[in-house]
Homo-oligomer: A and B are copies of this chain.
Amino acid sequence: MTLERIEHRACFGGWQDVYRHASETLACGMNFAVYLPPQAQTQRLPVLYWLSGLTCTEQNFITKAGAQRYATEHGLILVAPDTSPRGEDVADADGYDLGKGAGFYVNATQAPWSKHYRMYDYVVSELPALIEANFPATEARAISGHSMGGHGALIVALKNPGRYRSVSAFSPIVAPTRVPWGERAFTAYLGEDREAWKAWDAAALIADATERLPLLVDQGDADEFLAGQLKPELLQAACAAADHPLELRLQPGYDHSYYFIESFIGEHIAYHAHALKA
C-alpha cells in the first residue's frame, strides 16, 4: 500500500493534507483528506471521520467547514474521504444523486455498480486500517457527516457497535428507503427487494440496535430538502419506539449549505472530543 501526498498546507498550526492511494475495496484510485493538528507531532490522537454529501469530494469539508480550528483546539485528527469510487472505468449515471459523487455508503450488489461501489467497506474497514497504520492515530474513532454523509455516519455507527465512541450528523437522510434520493440509489445499487434495503437505513436499524450510542443530529428548519428527502421525524419516531437516545436539534433559519455546517461544527467536534477522550 503506497500513499501519495498530493496536498500539504499549513492550517491552524497543523497540516491539512490530501493523500491518494489505490483502494483495494473500491478497485480504483481514491483521494482522502487528513488534518493533523499540532499535537500529532508528539502523540497519537483520536480520529473523527467526516462523510460528505451528494456531489462532494474530499475537498468540500476541508475548504468550507472551518473544522481545523476546533481539531487543533481539542487535539483530534480529521479524516474526510471522497463520496464514491472514481475513474474512467467506474460506472456512472445521469444526475447528481446516483453514481460518481453519490456512493451512499453502501456495498452495491447489482451490476454494473457492484464492481466498485463498496463505500461502506471502504469507510468502515480499509480507510481506518490505513489511517491507523500510517498516521499518529489511536483506535478511538468518532464519525459524523452531512446529508448523504449524515446517513452514512448513522448507519456506519449503528451497524458496528463498539467501533465508534460517538456519532453525529448534519441534515442527514435518516430514512433512505422512504425518500426519492434513497429510493433511486438503493434500486440501482441494491436491486428491487426493498426488504434488503433496510440494512442500510438508519431509522430501520434503530429497532435492532444492540448498543445505546446516542445520536446527535442538527437540522436546519429552512433546509430546502427537509420535507422531501430528510424527514428527521422518521428517525425521531424510530428512536422513541426503541427508546434509543437521540438529540435532534432543529436550528431556526438554517438551510442545507456549508454555512450551516460551519456554524455548528465546533459544537460537534467538542462533543466528539469529550467522548473520544473519556
A: residues with CB less than 8 A from B are 9-13, 16, 63-64, 66, 68-69, 220, 222, 251-255, 257-260, 262-263, 266
Contacts and interface: CB of A to CB of B under 8 A. Distances in A.
Given A64-B63, A69-B66, A262-B66, A222 B255 contact: no
B222 A263 contact: no
A220 B259 CA distance: 27
Contacts of A255: 9-10
Contacts of A251: 10
A268 to B, nearest CB: 14
Q: Specify how many copies of this chain sit in the oligomer.
A: 2
Nearest to A264: B12
A259 B10 contact: yes
A160 to B, nearest CB: 32
A263 B254 CA distance: 25
A68 B66 CA distance: 11
Contact of A253 (B10, B63, B258): B10
17 contacts: A9-B254, A9-B255, A9-B260, A10-B220, A10-B255, A10-B259, A10-B260, A11-B259, A11-B263, A12-B263, A13-B263, A63-B63, A63-B64, A64-B64, A66-B69, A66-B262, A68-B262
